[in-house]
Structure 1
């Protein structure tokens, strides 16, 4: 422990984060989530759009995506991309055997122009696009999907890509190592990747 303290004393020996970045936690309560869901449902009905999954995760991500695009002051036809890890076990073709033990994570990617995300119905459009992207994973060939996903990611990594680190489905707040459940979980890799943690 003493050696570690000595290392910390040396100026510039460990860079914990970019000094230009600020990390902050936002909480959407149940009423916020319900209001967002209602807005998107109303828009889906008005436009006769297909009803894609409208989970708390989908509307929260749509809201965060819009806020980030607005904060970064993107506009016009600048392409905006949003991606997140998803559990592919129930979505894959060929299906995974029922006795499979482990995880099987893939990603989904959604794209919109900045003007669409920032428009009057930007949250609704973003939520519908995210829902469509998730819904579109069902029954896809794993090999084809992975190959296309890698190519797509390499193309999008040079554009304005917002990704999610973690997932509410990982249930990290239910973990108990004998000290009780965690009060707050931090995903430290987001400092380097610029991703958003959603747990």
Structure 2
């Protein structure tokens, strides 16, 4: 029975990747290092977690774990929106597209959640020239000493100086059922040599 289940899982993964390839005009995610454009990511994020060399795009309502030394946090993207408002750049603004997101962010102490917060995330083009440009984006996330960056639609990205910070995608949806020491999960650190990896939602581990 167990062997049969393994074969079924492999078949489902093959069919999912085959469907992805057909629907995304054969964009080869797993041979790339750089993050694809948002149009490509939108095609897959409903069915896959996308893992890059410094970021993880997690499906909506699935919890991503964050660990930096003794600091433990978790985040769940609840929604996101793009405005399709990109314009011709000017001397005062790059006029890049604007994005919004909402997430639940939780800090943990001694394995127990103790601080819940709703994050209202945004990414907007800075306005101004050079050092006097003003950026109204709300895209920085802090977990202890770690600084991370939200990127549309659902990526949490490590900064280059995020030494010691690790991310772990999970299938969990309830913050009260997380185990940061679970042997089921895998932690990802900043690694420029890592190519992208697609994990079907059905294969995401449960942190228990």
- Relative to the length of structure 1, the TM-score reads 0.29
Structure number with the bigger relative contact order (C-alpha 8 A, sep ≥ 6) is 2
TM-score, normalising length from structure 2? 0.28
Instruction: From the CA coordinates, give the structure whose radius of gyration is larger.
Output: 1
Structure with greater helix share of residues? 1
Greater strand content: 2
